[in-house]
């Protein structure tokens, strides 16, 4: 009786830790999403495809091309950063000021295109994994067995989030992007190139998505199912409020923990949809999220 | 709306007539005759193409009413098709209701589900509403897959009983061709008439600015929920017909991807016109068939590209087509068609 209670506690803590580490990755991807929304008021529905594409690209640099991990990571991040930068020029710049449906569909079009391209390049690579960078072993923290990969992802995610927030709070480029997010007109009149700021936010979002894809692919293998993460990240961003980075991380943690708990205690089917159930509740009861700005519309 | 030179509308009835001149009527009669005798010389391939395209057009008409006219973005339209398909199939299989009752019941079920997921539209709009409909997509498919597998067949396929009107059994491609075409004509006529009515004009006002339209005395709640009901009713009817046509349905037929495809078709065809869904469905259908045909040909030239070449070509061309249309012709093929008609009417004077 006593031991069973103890085991239940251990499972609980284990699930919590896994949930937090997965939630961090969701939060990270949600940050990329929030970034684009803040700088250009566009919902990037291609985020999931960018995650999937980045993971596949990273894999093909690491395994078939056999480049050393450090160089491969730098190369891939440079490539996706440039691609994200280029995306702003076409097709996103003509979308400024267009109706919402057009901006939704343009990102979805990009997403469908990326998925088609990935299907063309990697459809025969089924069940692939990243090569092990650290050897997996279980460490015991307060009597709770936790894999060191989980700890690694957790700390890596934490470092990235800290770096991103430092970037947005102190670097010149980051401040420009935040200014562009606040108001395009005001930023422009202060001498900031808004189109460049938007392009930079797309580049960073693409890099963040690729890193997220790498981390997530390291945990669960690389497949086309990684695209699902995009919408989960949307849910995370929505829970946190769309204008807030810390909200995105927080929302990611909530969604990640909720997912691992429903997966551990209820079942796989509900685990798939719990982000959307949370999303509907947030939309109905608190549509602007936990940290978001409430918009008041006048005619 | 411009008329041909010499034709003047002297009453509102004339203004709202669908076939205003005798050329329109004659063209329509020729078109109907053409489609009536098509099965005589058309091959099985063309009939299958027309049938599946026509079912898509019925669903798209609903999406057009909801998104094109009323401005409520829905990215979960195929989920409502699934509601229609499953409810009509379950009614036919478990309760053995006759077909003519199952079909409207499927539409009704989807319409009610649409109202349920349209409720957040009273509080949120734009992106937030689009997210609600994405959530609807996942939740509805989850409801079909998991909680009641003994009724819905779970994640595996569900067989649909065959359709019989009295003693007549719809079985061949040709039977379905006539049935689907009649349904398409009825549903299109209803959509067109709805848009000429006071509800249709209210929808357009809500799309253009919901707060202003409320100030002008339009009941927003009623209007938005009615648009959701009608749009999803169309989806339900289309899903129900689709189930009867393919005879086997599974939750995997109704994915978010196909919902995105439907929105893409609508954008390519042209939002907010009754002809738009036709153009979009035909354009994308033709694009898809071309890619499927071209796939093996490309593989024979570049064999390294793998087995899924057709699928990837379909997705890539669709993505590119949607992007190009949004950037260069956001009003779709329907708008081009209007321009063409206009210049034909004014020819040779391009004033």
Q: What is the DSSP letter of A222?
A: B
Q: What are phi and psi of B158, to 5 degrees?
A: -115, 130
pLDDT band at B54 (very low <50, low <70, confident <90, very high): very high
pLDDT tens over chain A, length 299 residues: 334 445 677 788 888 888 888 888 888 889 888 888 877 778 889 999 999 999 999 999 888 888 888 898 899 999 999 999 998 888 888 887 788 889 899 999 999 999 999 988 888 777 788 887 777 777 777 777 777 887 887 788 788 878 888 888 899 988 888 888 778 888 889 998 888 888 998 999 899 999 988 888 888 888 888 888 888 888 898 888 887 778 888 899 999 999 989 888 887 778 888 999 988 888 888 877 777 777 666 66
Q: Are residues B4 and B21 in contact, defined by beta-carbon separation less than 8 angstroms?
A: yes
Provide the 10 A C-beta neighbour count for residue B82.
Answer: 31
Mutate to test the interface with B, among A112, A128, A228, A240 (most CBs of B within 10 A): A112
Using the CB atoms, write b or e for A114-126: b if 16+ within 10 Å: bbbbbbbbbbebe
> Maximum Cα–Cα distance for chain A, whole Å?
70
Report the DSSP beta bridge partners of residue B165. B168
Predicted local distance difference test score (pLDDT) of residue A10: 73
Taking CB atoms and an 8 Å limit, are A283 and B146 in contact across chains?
no
Tell me, yes or no, if A132 comes closer than 8 A to chain B by beta carbon: no
In angstroms, the CA B309 to CA A25 distance is: 32
Tokens of A191: 């001498």
Give the tokens for residue B287: 């694009």
What does the DSSP assignment read for A153-168? Answer: HHHHHHHHHHHHHHHH
Q: Find chain A residues with C-beta within 8 A of B146's C-beta.
A: 267, 269-270
- Find the closest chain A residue to B146 by CA distance: A269
Enter the DSSP assignment of B172.
S
User: How far apart, in whole angstroms, are the C-alpha atoms of residue B59 and residue B189?
Assistant: 14
Residue A294 lies in a domain: no
The arrangement of secondary structure in B49-346, i.e. its CATH architecture, is Orthogonal Bundle (1.10)
Q: Say if A116 falls within a structural domain.
A: yes
pTM of the model: 0.90
Structural domain of residue A145, as residue ranges? 2-122+138-285
Q: Take residue A225 and report the two structure tokens written for it.
A: 């199912």
Instruction: Output the CA angle B168-B174-B180, nearest 5 degrees.
Output: 85
CATH number for the domain harbouring residue A155 = 1.10.3470
Q: Is B318 on the interface with A (CB under 8 A)?
A: yes
Q: Let me know: does A69 contact A137? Beta carbons within 8 Å.
A: no
Residue B279 CA to residue B271 CA, distance in Å, equals: 11
Give burial (CB, 10 Å; 0-12/13-18/19+) of B167. exposed
Per the structure, the count of domains in chain A is 1
Please answer yes or no on whether A109 and B264 come within 8 Å at the CB atom: yes
Q: Measured between CB atoms, does A199 come within 8 Å of chain B?
A: no
Residues of A in contact with B318 (CB under 8 A): 109, 112-113, 116
| Cα-only R_g, chain A | 20
C-alpha distances out from residue B173 to A127, A297, B88, B179, B188, Å? 40, 53, 21, 10, 22
CA–CA separation, A166 and A174 (whole Å): 9
Q: Is residue A44 part of a domain?
A: yes
How far apart CA B23 and CA B27 sit, in angstroms, is 6
Domain ranges in chain B are: 49-346
The token duo for A141 is 């923290």
User: CA of B76: how far to CAs of A63, A193, B188, B225, B232, in Å?
Assistant: 38, 37, 21, 16, 10
Token pair listed for A138: 């279980």
- A116 closest CB neighbour out of B132, B139, B316: B316
Residues in chain B: 351
């Amino acid at each position: 009786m006593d031991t069973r209670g103890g085991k239940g506690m251990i499972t609980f803590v284990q699930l919590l830790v896994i949930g937090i580490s997965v939630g961090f990755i969701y939060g990270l991807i949600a940050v990329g999403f929030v970034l684009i929304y803040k700088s250009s008021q566009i919902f990037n529905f291609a985020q999931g495809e960018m995650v999937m594409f980045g993971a596949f690209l990273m894999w093909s640099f690491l395994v078939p091309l056999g480049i050393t991990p450090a160089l491969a990571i730098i190369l891939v991040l440079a490539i996706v950063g440039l691609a994200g930068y280029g995306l702003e020029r076409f097709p996103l710049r003509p979308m400024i000021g267009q109706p919402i449906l057009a901006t939704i569909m343009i990102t979805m079009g990009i997403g469908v295109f990326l998925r088609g391209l990935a299907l063309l390049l990697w459809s025969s690579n089924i069940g692939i994994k990243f090569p092990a960078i650290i050897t997996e072993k279980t460490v015991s923290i307060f009597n709770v067995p936790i894999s060191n990969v989980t700890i690694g992802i957790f700390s890596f995610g934490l470092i990235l989030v800290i770096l991103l927030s430092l970037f947005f709070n102190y670097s010149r480029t980051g401040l420009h992007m935040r200014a562009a997010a606040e108001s395009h007109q005001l930023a422009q009149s202060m001498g900031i190139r808004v189109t460049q700021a938007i392009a930079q936010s797309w580049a960073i979002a693409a890099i963040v998505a690729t890193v997220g894809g790498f981390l997530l692919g390291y945990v669960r293998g690389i497949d086309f199912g990684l695209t699902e993460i995009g919408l989960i990240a949307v849910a995370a961003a929505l829970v946190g409020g769309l204008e807030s980075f810390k909200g995105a991380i927080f929302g990611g943690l909530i969604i990640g923990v909720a997912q691992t708990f429903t997966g551990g205690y209820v079942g796989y089917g509900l685990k798939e949809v719990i982000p959307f159930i949370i999303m509907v509740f947030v939309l109905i009861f608190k549509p602007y999220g936990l940290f978001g700005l409430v918009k008041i519309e006048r005619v | 709306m411009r008329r041909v030179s010499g034709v003047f509308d002297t009453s509102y009835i004339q203004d709202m007539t669908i076939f205003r001149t005798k050329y329109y009527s004659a063209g329509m009669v020729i078109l109907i005759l053409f489609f009536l005798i098509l099965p005589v010389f058309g091959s099985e391939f063309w009939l299958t193409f027309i049938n599946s395209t026509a079912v898509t057009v019925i669903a798209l008409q609903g999406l057009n009413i909801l998104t094109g006219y009323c401005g409520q973005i829905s990215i979960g339209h195929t989920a409502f098709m699934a509601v229609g398909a499953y409810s009509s199939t379950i009614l036919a299989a478990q309760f053995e209701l006759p077909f003519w009752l199952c079909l409207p019941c499927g539409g009704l079920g989807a319409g009610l589900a649409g109202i349920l997921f349209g409720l957040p539209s009273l509080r949120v709009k734009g992106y937030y509403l689009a997210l609600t409909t994405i959530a609807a997509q996942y939740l509805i498919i989850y409801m079909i897959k998991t909680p009641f597998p003994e009724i819905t067949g779970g994640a595996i396929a569900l067989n649909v009983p065959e359709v019989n009107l009295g003693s007549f059994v719809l079985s061949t491609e040709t039977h379905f061709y006539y049935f689907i075409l009649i349904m398409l004509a009825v549903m299109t006529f209803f959509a067109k008439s709805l848009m000429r009515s006071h509800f249709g004009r209210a929808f357009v006002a809500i799309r253009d600015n919901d707060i202003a339209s409320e100030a002008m005395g339009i009941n927003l709640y009623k209007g938005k929920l009615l648009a959701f009901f009608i749009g999803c009713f169309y989806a339900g009817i289309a899903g129900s017909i689709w189930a009867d046509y393919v005879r086997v349905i599974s939750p995997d037929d109704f994915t978010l991807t196909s919902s995105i495809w439907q929105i893409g078709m609508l954008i390519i065809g042209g939002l907010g016109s009754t002809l738009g869904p036709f153009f979009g469905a035909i354009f994308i259908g033709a694009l898809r068939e071309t890619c499927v045909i071209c796939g093996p040909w490309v593989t024979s030239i570049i064999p390294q590209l793998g087995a899924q070449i057709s699928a990837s070509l379909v997705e890539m061309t669709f993505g590119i087509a949607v992007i190009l249309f949004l950037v260069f012709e956001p009003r779709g093929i329907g708008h081009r068609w209007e321009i063409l008609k206009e210049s034909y009417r004014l020819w040779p004077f391009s004033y």
